[in-house]
Amino acid sequence: DAGVTQSPTHLIKTRGQQVTLRCSPISGHKSVSWYQQVLGQGPQFIFQYYEKEERGRGNFPDRFSARQFPNYSSELNVNALLLGDSALYLCASRTGGRDDGYTFGSGTRLTVV
Amino acid sequence: KNQVEQSPQSLIILEGKNCTLQCNYTVSPFSNLRWYKQDTGRGPVSLTIMTFSENTKSNGRYTATLDADTKQSSLHITASQLSDSASYICVVSAEGGKLIFGQGTELSVKP
């Protein structure tokens, strides 16, 4: 059984550009969450989606947006990229309802130059 | 404010030695606490998960303890191996399933 898959694994963008990151949850997992992890720090919560609806949002600007599709996969979009957006972006999925099934993907390493 | 603090920030030990990592939290209401191992550039991998009613849980050479009264947890690693070198993150689940992450402890195991 495949784990949480994220794509791409690495990405280099220029300031001001837009980026879309993708996440496929474990089969049967209906909840997807996104996290930003700056080098040397713990992950910071960005969004949580369950059954295609936003269930939570962290303290991130409106440049960050996300959505969840009928097959429970998810995309994270970041507009007008800043140098400070350079980070490892992690996706985690769980079954939903109870929070004892979180599994993380390997992340997408975004570098903004 | 919901916070999770870990100590030490970094730790260097010799292969074969034991070590203990600490986690203090102020998350309320508390659902559960997890310890994750994160290799550089990779996603976190769950080691243990504990609810407030559990005091100890083991996973191979990893043993986690939880004191819900003092809101402290520890992760003990026995007979360390070179592959244990990683960041160990304490994660507490708050209301609604929101995860509160600690900053992590960077463990280096030297031969």
Nearest to B42 among A31, A41, A107 (CB): A107
Q: Is the peptide bond before A61 cis (omega within 30 degrees of 0)?
A: no
Instruction: Please tell me if residue B103 touches chain A, with a CB cutoff of 8 Å.
Output: yes
Average pLDDT over chain B, rounded to an integer: 92
Instruction: Please tell me if residue B42 touches chain A, with a CB cutoff of 8 Å.
Output: yes
**Tens digits of pLDDT across chain A (113 residues):** 579 999 999 999 999 999 999 999 999 888 999 999 998 888 998 999 988 899 889 899 999 999 999 999 999 999 999 999 999 999 999 876 555 568 899 999 999 99
| CB spacing of B103 vs A42 below 8 angstroms | yes
- Rounded to whole angstroms, the Cα distance separating A73 from A20 reads 13
pLDDT (tens digit per residue) in B24-60: 999 888 888 999 999 988 889 989 888 888 899 999 9
pLDDT (tens digit per residue) in B61-96: 999 999 989 999 999 999 999 999 999 999 998 776
Q: What is the DSSP string of B2-70?
A: --EEEE-SEEEEETT--EEEEEEE--SS--EEEEEEE-TTS--EEEEEEETT--EEEETTEEEEEETTT
Q: A59: closest CA among A91, A82, A35, A88?
A: A35
Instruction: Please tell me if residue B102 touches chain A, with a CB cutoff of 8 Å.
Output: yes
Burial degree of B89 (CB within 10 A; 0-12, 13-18, 19+): buried
Given this model, what pLDDT does residue B104 score? 93
Closest chain A C-alpha to B39 CA, distance in angstroms: 10
